[in-house]
Structure 1
Amino acid sequence: MTMGVSFRSRLARARSTGGAPAERVDFGRRVLTLRRWRVAVRLEWRSVIVCAVLAIAIACVAVFALMTGSYTLSPGQVVSALTGGETGLVHDIVVEWRLPRVAAALVFGAALGVSGAVFQSMLRNPLADPGIIGFSQGPYTGALIVILLVNGTYVQLAGGALLGGMATAVAVYVLAYRRGVQGFRLIIVGIGVSAMLGSLNTWLILKADLEQAMAAAAWGAGSLNGVSWDQVVIGGTCVLMLLLLAGMLSRPMRQMELGDDAAASQGVRVPAARLGLVVVGVALTATVTAASGPIAFVSLVAPQIARRLARTAGITLAPAAFVGALLCLAADFIAQHVAPTPLPVGIITVMLGGGYLGWLLFTEARRRL
């Protein structure tokens, strides 16, 4: 009784002075709190520092990528061209030729990182990658149908990829539903659906004309070749809106990591939150697939690297976005300038992601022994 009266008296004094109670909540780690109007956002200091370091690394790699090519430039020329100080050939090389590719790698890498973070957090499984559970094959199938049958524009490709991704998500969700959806069952069903869609994609390419088949096969490897400013602007706008939606759903997503029952006891509408997260994750993957084809393994690797760098209990979206952007940009640079011949970025991400997947399976197996 005395403790209750004491707390109420402290709370009343805090309200009368317009402040907070003298005692602060101990979150176990240093937390940065941002307040604006009636909105309060808590950020862990380590996550903020990690994102800042990753942003610096991204800027360095981006400048180096803009410098490198058949026509080598200096850092000063690159910075001057970006700030409007250069005209003529240097401006065209930096702004018109190289910058769209760098911007696409950053935007699409961030989208893939957040998409992987959404699925891994929602399903509570580090193997919940959109490419593994079929949510990348579905957009690829939809876009492939548009390429082979309509030869459509980027907007039509985006629509076909989105419809294919949503149809795949509905099919996987329905087939995995049995008194609710469990993460492991959804992953197993998704792997089966992904294999079926992979066979369908191969059949479509084999039945197409030679020129269309070669273009579709090259695009299916995941490449940023030929990305224009129109695709960057349209795709970037879609990705930005989807990232905002993902941020709005981040709180129920983190609560769902404790389990559906625990999240429901805290007021989370689990079915609605899960549906919203699936739509956002699939839409992010479909947007990237429509522009560059399926870039594999970034959404698998980025969230886990981000979690280990930030040392958070769960997966957070911002570090995953920064890691995804850095991975995609670095992989594209390796594919274009380090490899003996220019390669699609998807080949490099498969090589890096395959090694990481093997290491992840090995460490998980050792942990359970």
Structure 2
Amino acid sequence: MITEKINDVELGFVKRKYRFLFVSMCLALIALILAGMILYLGNTKYPLSIILRVLAGEEIKGATFAIMTLRLPRMLAGLLAGMAFGMAGCTFQTMLRNPLASPDIIGITSGSSVAAVFCILVFQVSGSAVSIAAVISGLLVSSLIYILSRGGSFSGGRLILIGIGLQAMLNAVISYLLLRANHYDVPAALRWLNGSLNGIQMKSIPALCFTVLFFGGLLVLLGRKLKILELGEHSAITLGLRTDRTRILLVLCAVFLIAVATAVTGPISFVAFLAGPIAGWLAGKGIATILPAGLTGSVLVLLADIIGQYAFDTNFPVGIITGILGAPYLLYLLIRMNKTGGAA
């Protein structure tokens, strides 16, 4: 009888593992197809043979500029930023055991945004200066949220409430800066705040790529410890996990992903909020879904960019489309939590 139960447990684990791998491969394939569509679609549609020749380094008049200067940076930024948002959002939601614990809801994204808007409107700078300021500000705000949430001991609920409060304050600062700014500078700030892949340059991609590979890879390696943290503070300590050290490492990795991605593309709304739940629903429970969440984030950003660029007469920034997708789920989640007395 005991042997049969052990075999059932092992069989269940194998099924979950294969489901995890299958879902991850399907999401990667969908992301690859969407990435190819971004390279293909435009005022001029180039055949696959031309795209591959240009990517291989061949100079083709017209095609090289369109693909290498305009479409490739846009595609890579969407792919990598979506993965960064998805992995970071899943990390916070799993660690804090609350679907509302998304970086764009608990103030971390706003921390990066306020510094970027300040640089654009007050110092009138752009490019790397804005990116560096956004990263530093995101790290400082996340550190402040974590320190304030500590109290006597760490509390996920306290962190969420403090984050929401700080987000409201930071959004008020952003609104004040927009109201006081020269009206000629406001469109650039608003375009960045909406989250957009327009105007992405290839020089912004290497830092984003390194951040996703390094910090995203660390999060994947820490996935098992993240699942232990999900059991709760006391259970994690009982199982021998050094909760404070693990939590700080997870937060640092997630914040770097959010800050660098936000610095490059702006705060693309609701991607971090949606990617984790969608990945969890697809891949199932029992295995950390950080990698599927990252791939889901890439799919969401690339799909939203294609919809925003080609589905309407007017081009819309990718953040507008993801906001339309994410707002109904947020309302549903709030209604559900209200009915269940706060349980998500």
TM-score by length of 2: 0.90
Name the structure 2 match of 1:229: 202
Name the structure 2 match of 1:188: 161
Is the Cα–Cα contact under 8 Å of residues 308 and 315 in structure 2 kept in the other structure?
A: yes
* Superposed displacement of residue 359, structure 1: 2.9
Higher helix share: 2
2:34 corresponds to 1:51: no
Name the structure 2 match of 1:11: none
Tell me how far apart the structure 2 counterparts of residues 359 and 86 of structure 1 sit (CA, whole Å): 51
Select which of 309, 318, 327 maps to 1:345.
Answer: 318
Aligned residues: 337
Name the structure 1 match of 2:103: 130
Select which of 233, 241, 251 maps to 1:268.
Answer: 241
Tell me how far apart the structure 2 counterparts of residues 155 and 272 of structure 1 sit (CA, whole Å): 31
Task: State the SS of the aligned residue for 2:12.
Answer: coil
Is the Cα–Cα contact under 8 Å of residues 116 and 300 in structure 1 kept in the other structure?
A: yes
2:173 corresponds to 1:200: yes
Name the structure 1 match of 2:66: 93
The structure whose Rg is larger is 1
Select which of 207, 210, 213 maps to 1:240.
Answer: 213
Q: Which has the higher contact order (CA 8 A, sep 6+)?
A: 2
* Superposed displacement of residue 339, structure 1: 2.4
Is the Cα–Cα contact under 8 Å of residues 54 and 64 in structure 2 kept in the other structure?
A: yes
Name the structure 1 match of 2:12: 29
2:276 corresponds to 1:303: yes
Select which of 224, 232, 248 maps to 1:259.
Answer: 232
* Superposed displacement of residue 120, structure 1: 0.5
* Superposed displacement of residue 66, structure 1: 1.7
* Superposed displacement of residue 194, structure 1: 0.4
Is the Cα–Cα contact under 8 Å of residues 257 and 314 in structure 1 kept in the other structure?
A: no
Residues 178 and 27 of structure 1: CA distance in aligned 2, closer, same or farther (over 3 Å): farther
- Please give the per-residue CA displacement for 1:24-45, whole angstroms capped at 9, x wherever unaligned: 894443549xxxxxxxxxx811
Task: State the SS of the aligned residue for 2:264.
Answer: helix
Tell me how far apart the structure 1 counterparts of residues 187 and 126 of structure 2 sit (CA, whole Å): 18
- Please give the per-residue CA displacement for 1:41-79, whole angstroms capped at 9, x wherever unaligned: xx8111111111111111222222222111123344334
CA RMSD in angstroms comes to: 2.3
Tell me how far apart the structure 1 counterparts of residues 157 and 312 of structure 2 sit (CA, whole Å): 37
Q: Which amino acid aligns with 1:290?
A: A
Greater CA drift, 69-78 or 302-311: 69-78
Is the Cα–Cα contact under 8 Å of residues 200 and 265 in structure 2 kept in the other structure?
A: yes
Tell me how far apart the structure 2 counterparts of residues 26 and 47 of structure 1 sit (CA, whole Å): 16
Task: State the SS of the aligned residue for 2:185.
Answer: helix
Tell me how far apart the structure 2 counterparts of residues 26 and 153 of structure 1 sit (CA, whole Å): 55
Tell me how far apart the structure 2 counterparts of residues 199 and 180 of structure 1 sit (CA, whole Å): 30
2:305 corresponds to 1:332: yes
* Superposed displacement of residue 315, structure 1: 4.4
Select which of 68, 88, 105 maps to 2:78.
Answer: 105
Could you list the runs of 5+ residues in structure 2 that have no partner in the other structure?
1-5
Tell me how far apart the structure 2 counterparts of residues 88 and 270 of structure 1 sit (CA, whole Å): 57
Q: Which amino acid aligns with 2:142?
A: A
* Superposed displacement of residue 288, structure 1: 1.2
2:188 corresponds to 1:215: yes
* Superposed displacement of residue 83, structure 1: 4.1
Is the Cα–Cα contact under 8 Å of residues 223 and 288 in structure 2 kept in the other structure?
A: no
Tell me how far apart the structure 1 counterparts of residues 48 and 333 of structure 2 sit (CA, whole Å): 38
Select which of 164, 169, 189 maps to 2:142.
Answer: 169
Is the Cα–Cα contact under 8 Å of residues 264 and 270 in structure 1 kept in the other structure?
A: yes
* Superposed displacement of residue 178, structure 1: 2.9
2:337 corresponds to 1:354: no
**Identity of counterpart residues, as a percentage?**
34
